[in-house]
């Protein structure tokens, strides 16, 4: 560099420097100093209007190109810092499991990270599932295994646990159960005797008539049962017909199917329940989602108001209807059964207040 060029460069540089008292020489009065190495955080000066103490450094060289770039970067950071995610507005999130946290044995992308962030933020989480195949302890263990995050039994509510609590409230002492071992465990833990008559398999009319000698239970309780058979259908129907109104009829949930990875629905408890209702001529009392029985139990047990709680689910007919029926906020995620097209066509009782692509989007925006 020639001496002339060097001299011109130094004069230009010095004319745009700050002195020790922060007075500007030829810099326009409305232009703020650019500090390329200042770390901008939500609590630091430039984003909150705070002043910085002078470090004693002589000054910065003013660069219009870098200043423009910095202003854009600061604007983006300020926008991000001022934005709240949907989860930030609630103290407690009720999370459905299948279709929200996992599908099958695989967690849904971002769900584990979202759950971890919610826990670290001090949010109350309740895994609310209409599945009755597992007890709360078994489901908590599964959630811990699939998500890789510790989930306690107290953070889990199953439709089996809810129907057990409701049966106890109705003073039920004995019940015939169409369901899995997990449902039977919850009922037994609640002090209800589960009847297990020796029903002939395959169905035989002559042997079936022997069931008429068995005392009618105080309730028939129906959940998901992968060993459901015609013999079980006939037995449940017999008890309900013979017992009349004295034999209470409970269904854990109305879900007719769960979405498989193939895209097709696998029959669920609702399909079994519909068959027993048709065979007996009786209508079941639903205790799981979308019944308000569950939301009332949760609010009372946890000391929460409706305004502090949001339901997150993947089904309009159970998850969203449940939240709407209970008067809490609702959010549908598009990682399970219901689609955005179905949301657009849904009537008010099934329409969510919010729709997000996934749980991750609810937590991180």
Catalytic center residues: 96, 98
DSSP secondary structure, 198-260, as one string: ---SS--HHHHGGGGGSPPPSEEEE---TT--HHHHHHHHHHHHHHGGGSEEEES----EEE-
On the CB side of 217, CA atoms within 13 Å amount to 27
Contact in structure between 140 and 109 (CB atoms under 8 Å): no
From CA 46, how far away is CA 44, in angstroms rounded? 6
> Phi, psi at residue 323, to the nearest 5°?
-65, -45
CB neighbours of residue 324 within 10 Å:
20
| Radius of gyration (C-alpha) of the chain in whole angstroms | 31
CB neighbours of residue 31 within 10 Å:
11
Q: How far is CA 56 from the centre of its chain?
A: 52
């Amino acid at each position: 560099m020639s001496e002339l060029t060097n001299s011109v460069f130094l004069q230009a540089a010095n004319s745009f420097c700050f002195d020790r008292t922060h007075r500007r020489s030829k810099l326009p009065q409305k232009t703020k100093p650019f500090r390329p190495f200042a770390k901008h955080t939500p609590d630091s000066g430039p984003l909150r209007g705070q002043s910085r103490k002078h470090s004693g450094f002589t000054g910065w060289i003013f660069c219009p190109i870098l200043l423009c770039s910095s202003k854009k970067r600061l604007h983006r950071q300020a926008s991000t810092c001022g934005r709240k995610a949907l989860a930030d507005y609630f103290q407690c999130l009720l999370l459905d499991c299948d279709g929200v946290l996992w599908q099958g044995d695989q967690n849904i992308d971002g769900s584990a990270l979202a759950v971890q962030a919610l826990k670290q933020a001090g949010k109350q989480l309740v895994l609310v599932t209409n599945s009755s195949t597992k007890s709360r302890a078994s489901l908590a263990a599964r959630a811990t295994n699939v998500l890789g995050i510790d989930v306690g039994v107290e953070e889990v509510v199953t439709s089996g646990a809810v129907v057990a609590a409701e049966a106890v409230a109705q003073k039920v002492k004995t019940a015939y159960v169409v369901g899995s071992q997990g449902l039977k465990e919850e009922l037994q833990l609640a002090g209800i005797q589960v009847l297990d008559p020796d029903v002939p398999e395959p169905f035989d009319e002559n042997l079936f008539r022997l069931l008429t000698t068995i005392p009618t239970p105080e309730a028939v309780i129906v959940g998901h049962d992968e060993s459901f058979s015609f013999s079980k259908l006939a037995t449940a129907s017999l008890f309900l017909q013979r017992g009349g109104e004295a034999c209470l009829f409970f269904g854990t949930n109305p879900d007719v199917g769960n979405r498989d990875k193939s895209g097709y629905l696998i029959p669920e408890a609702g399909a079994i329940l519909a068959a027993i209702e048709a065979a007996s001529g009786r209508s079941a009392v639903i205790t799981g989602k979308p019944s308000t029985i569950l939301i009332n139990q949760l609010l009372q047990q946890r000391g929460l108001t409706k305004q502090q709680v949001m339901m997150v689910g993947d089904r309009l007919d159970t998850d969203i209807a449940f939240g709407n029926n209970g008067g809490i906020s609702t959010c549908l995620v598009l990682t399970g059964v219901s689609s955005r097209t179905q949301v657009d066509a849904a009537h008010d009782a099934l329409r969510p207040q919010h729709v997000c692509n996934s749980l991750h989007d609810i937590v991180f925006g």
